[in-house]
Amino acid sequence: MLIQHVFIINRAGSLIYDWDSKVDCTGVEKTFSYPLDIVLDIIDQKVTVVFGERDGIGLRYTVSAINGIPVQACKVIFDGVEKMVLDVIQEEANYPLSIRFQSPTITTNEKIILSSTFHSLYTIAAQLSPALKSSGIEVLTTNHFKLYCYQSTTGVKFVVVGSLSLSSGVDGLLRRIYELYADFALKNPFYSIDMPIRCQRFDDAVRSLIERQDKFSMLTI
Amino acid sequence: MSKQTKFPMGIDSKKISGELFALTYGALVAELLRDLENPLAVNRQLDKMGYNIGLRLADDLLAKNSQIQRCTDMHQVADVLAKIAVRSYLGVTAQVSNWNSRNDEFSLVLDANPLAEFVEVPPELAQDLRYSQILCGAIRGALEMMHMEVQTFIVQEHSQSVEIRVKFIRILQESVPPGDD
């Protein structure tokens, strides 16, 4: 999949729609002996790898289960007693331990926060511009992905995040998403403007549009 | 408009919906008159409905006509309204005339009135009822989405034409997106 995320941000900067390509959330399970050579810490109420990448367990991976028992809010039922995950891992007597790690995911809440941050960044970028009438952020390139943004005249932002090889036809894709928004969200009388879009037909249309775009990009590469 | 419905070969979907639209609108006005029993209240209600339509239709127009840029004066607004908006949604052409000296007020004259094609307003209502008031509301709503507050009213209307006066009030600074000011 070349396109990983699609976001629509309303005029006030809040996320009203997001689409994800099916990310394979396969975890990595491994049996460890004492001492554990991966440094773990609690970040955002999740036990997270902060140092010592190895065997496909990367930074920002989180512990999802210990000895097959799922971890909930940094705690796990161990020997019939609820214990903190970090305590269990420090105890030599508990080893060998089988720990399951999950690749980093992004929750809906985090998406909402990131969207409003992007909205502010966009505004700052437009104001910093040395030229008059800057269009704000249109493309943002990193080592691993590209982000494309299109802001309609009315102020709604359409954001597509995709792989680096994505380049041709993204402008057209963004405009097509805008058209779908005008058709299936705004023309739906039961959709209230500026609120999150929960329309099945809009979902379907976006999905088939992106599938078509992906096929087209595969052919042109 | 998205083409979802399939019409039989040789029938233009847009030509059918025009008549259906006029009849539906007629039924709506007649029903409002029965309910509200006051032509002025009917005008207000039609204006409100048009406004809500305009809020939604603005994005549709912009999404499907990528050549429309942000308008920076009323001449551009008049151009977009007369040349693109009226033609694509009502299927008629329109003329812009009667500019005032400050260039912030103009008349939009539709060459035909698709809403009132079959309509004869009874003489006792003709004084107060603005049959096509929904157009005023739609223009006001759509321009509000493009960050302009305008005043719109009908100067005169009959089935051959309708004249709508559009007056610029102010730019809605608080809703102008970044990069456009």
Tokens representing residue A194 in the block: 């500026």
- Among all chains, which residue has been given the structure tokens 């009203």? A16
- DSSP state, residue B28: H
Domain of B153 in residue numbering reads as: 18-171
CB A139 within 8 A of CB A171: no
SS3 A41: strand
C-alpha–C-alpha distance, residues A195 and A204, integer Å: 19
C-alpha–C-alpha distance, residues A43 and A40, integer Å: 9
Percent helix, strand and coil across chain A, each to the nearest 5: 30, 30, 40
Beta bridge partners of B170: B149
| Same structural domain, A52 and A91 | yes
C-alpha–C-alpha distance, residues B62 and A94, integer Å: 64
- Structural domains of chain A, count: 2
Per-residue model confidence as pLDDT tens for chain A (221 residues): 688 899 999 999 999 999 988 766 667 888 888 888 888 888 888 888 888 887 778 888 888 888 888 888 788 877 778 888 888 888 888 888 888 888 888 888 999 999 999 999 999 988 888 877 777 899 999 998 899 999 998 999 999 998 888 777 788 899 999 999 999 999 899 999 889 999 899 999 999 999 888 887 776 65
Q: Which residues of A touch B176 (CB under 8 A)?
A: 155
Low-confidence ranges of chain B (pLDDT < 70): 1-16, 180-181
* Boundary-marking domain end, from A70, A102, A134: A102
Cβ distance A183 to B180 less than 8 Å, yes or no, reads no
| Same structural domain, A14 and A75 | no
> Cα(first)–Cα(last) distance of chain B, in Å?
31
| Same structural domain, A142 and A120 | yes
| Same structural domain, A84 and A65 | yes
Q: Which of A129, A135, A182 sits opposite B60 (nearest CB)?
A: A182
Write down the pLDDT at residue B3.
44
- Among all chains, which residue has been given the structure tokens 């812009």? B96
C-alpha–C-alpha distance, residues A19 and A35, integer Å: 41
The answer to the question of residue B160 being in a domain is yes
Domain of A207 in residue numbering reads as: 3-23+107-219
Q: Which of A122, A183, A187 sits opposite B178 (nearest CB)?
A: A122
Q: Which residues of B touch A202 (CB under 8 A)?
A: none
SS3 A169: coil
Angle between helices A170-180 and A200-220 (to 10 degrees): 170
| Same structural domain, A74 and A182 | no
Cβ distance A136 to B58 less than 8 Å, yes or no, reads no
| Same structural domain, A34 and A132 | no
pTM over 0.80: yes
Cβ distance B63 to A178 less than 8 Å, yes or no, reads yes
State the ipTM, two decimals.
0.83
Cβ distance A182 to B68 less than 8 Å, yes or no, reads no
DSSP A126-159: HHH-SSSS----SEEE-SS-EEEEEE-TTS-EEE
Here the CATH number for the domain that contains residue A53 is 2.30.42.40
Residue of B nearest to A193 (CA): B56
* Boundary-marking domain end, from A62, A87, A102: A102
CA distances from B122 to A9, A107, B125 (A): 49, 61, 6
